[in-house]
């Protein structure tokens, strides 16, 4: 196809906190959709990830963060065994990375199913597609009140007041991300298998009890209701 459509995806996301201006660079949708077929095998066709947390949600995340992580995978600074065959310059050139990350960032996942319009004929297929896309994190067991308090003290300065992330800091959204995926990352950070934000973070994260982490995950799981 030689269509040269360039999508101007200026998304002025009035985020949950409403503060940050969030611009998604333009991308070539043909190239992006072709690459997406690879990613969809694990992350889902809407980049929604899997509720068991095996595969993270990518949809709506900061394109610069997504790109940064892919570069970490390529350089093996962040180990991701399932992605090794895909995260190299041959499979995914720097230009491909720009296209796919902007595309994935522009995908919006509804947090609730739309109300059924009784005046229209019921379309089971459309309803099924919508349900696949819908992402609302199930309430995680823990004490959300205590979790929120700790979150505000320890995490909000980078991950945002409601866990929506801060694009400028390359700190990803935690709200809307699958709880078990987040828990796995916390475990990796504690073991020093994933770099968080500073060299001292492995120790810092070990200093939070499992209960405190569960409480934070519980609080986050209420933020997308």
Footprint of ligand HEC (CB under 6 A): 35, 38-39, 41-43, 55-56, 58, 66, 68-70, 80, 82-83, 86, 92, 100, 154-155, 157-159, 169-172, 174, 177, 182, 184-186, 196-197, 216
Q: Which residues, 6 or more positions from 213, have their beta carbon under 8 angstroms from its beta carbon?
A: 183, 186
The residue among 96, 128, 116 whose CA lies nearest residue 28 is: 96
Alpha helices in the chain (DSSP H): 29-43, 63-74, 94-106, 124-133, 144-154, 156-159, 179-190, 201-207, 210-222
Sole residue written with tokens 């994935």: 104
Please identify, using beta-carbon distances, which residue of 130 and 169 lies nearer to ligand HEC: 169
Please report how close the Cβ of residue 53 comes to ligand HEC at its closest, in angstroms: 8
Instruction: Give 28's strand partners.
Output: none
Q: 76 or 127: whose CB is closer to ligand HEC?
A: 76
Instruction: Pick the closer one to ligand HEC by CB: 130 or 212.
Output: 212
Q: Which residues contact 167 (CB under 8 A, 6 or more apart)?
A: 20, 22, 62, 64, 65
Q: Pick between residue 45 and residue 130 the one whose CB is nearest to ligand HEC.
A: 45
Closer residue to ligand HEC (CB): 130 or 146: 146
Q: How far is the CB of 102 from ligand HEC (least distance, A)?
A: 11
């Amino acid at each position: 196809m030689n269509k040269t459509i360039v999508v101007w995806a200026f998304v002025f996301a009035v985020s949950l906190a409403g503060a940050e201006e969030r611009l998604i660079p333009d991308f070539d949708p043909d190239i992006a959709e072709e690459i997406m077929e690879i990613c969809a095998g694990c992350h889902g066709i809407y980049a929604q990830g899997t509720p068991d947390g095996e595969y993270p949600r990518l949809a709506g995340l900061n394109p610069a963060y997504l790109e940064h992580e892919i570069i970490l995978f390529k350089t093996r600074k962040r180990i991701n065994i399932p992605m090794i065959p895909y995260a190299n310059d041959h499979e995914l050139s720097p230009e491909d990375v720009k296209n796919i990350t902007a595309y994935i960032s522009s995908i919006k996942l509804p947090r609730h199913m739309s109300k059924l319009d009784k005046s229209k004929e019921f379309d089971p297929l459309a309803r099924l597609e919508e349900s696949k896309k819908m992402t609302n994190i199930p309430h995680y067991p823990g004490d959300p009140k205590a979790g929120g308090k700790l979150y505000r003290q320890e995490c909000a300065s980078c991950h945002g007041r409601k866990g929506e992330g801060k694009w400028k800091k390359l700190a990803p959204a935690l709200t809307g991300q699958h709880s078990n995926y987040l828990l796995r990352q916390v475990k990796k950070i504690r073991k020093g298998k994933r770099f968080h934000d500073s060299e001292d973070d492995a120790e810092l994260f070990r200093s939070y009890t499992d209960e405190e982490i569960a409480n934070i995950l519980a609080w986050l799981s209420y933020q997308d209701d």
